[in-house]
A = this chain, B = another copy of it.
Amino acid sequence: MCSRLEKTRDYKRRVMESFDRQQVMKTIQASIRDVRPGEVGLEFPYQPKLTQQHGFLHAGIVSTVLDTACGYAAFSLMPENAAVLTVEFKVNLLAPAKGDRFRAVGKVIKPGRTITVTEGKLFSHTEGAESLVATMVGTIMSVYDREGVES
């Protein structure tokens, strides 16, 4: 028998264990803020080694964290035997990604057996003020029993 509490712990555990295997999250120094069913929050500090030519965070690094947040938001709703793969995403850069710290939130807007649609937002923090820097819409796929992509 699986109690509700155990089930809750389980999706968190699955997200956190998979997140820990993403080596790039260590490179970015990203950590999990919170995991809820269908929603994942991440945070990470500014690092010069992740910047583009103007000293802002590179749009691709913004995308990296947003994709991880969106992917695990989808993963949190998937059955235990599913692996998660990103099919595609679109990122809009709304403002230069400058700041001391950044916060990313990924949310499921439409779950599905095969296809889950997600939205992500990246916020920058500068001296206490938070502002929206980028948005993502991502299409995530549940993959069952495919070699080489265990959850």
Tell me what chain A mostly uses at the interface: helix, strand, loop, or mixed: mixed
CB under 8 Å from chain B, chain A span 112-151 = 114-115, 117, 132, 135, 137, 139, 141, 148-151
Q: Tell which of A4-12, A31-39, A58-66 binds the partner.
A: A58-66
Hey, what's the 0/1 contact readout for A1-40 against B, CB within 8 Å counting as 1? 0000000000000000011011110110000000000000
The verdict on A53 contacting chain B, using a C-beta distance below 8 Å, is: yes
Distance from A92 Cβ to chain B, minimum over Cβ atoms (Å):
4
A49 CA to B29 CA in the complex, in Å? 11
Q: A117-B94, A137-B90 are in contact. Are A60 and B49 (CB under 8 A)?
A: no
Distance from A114 Cβ to chain B, minimum over Cβ atoms (Å):
6
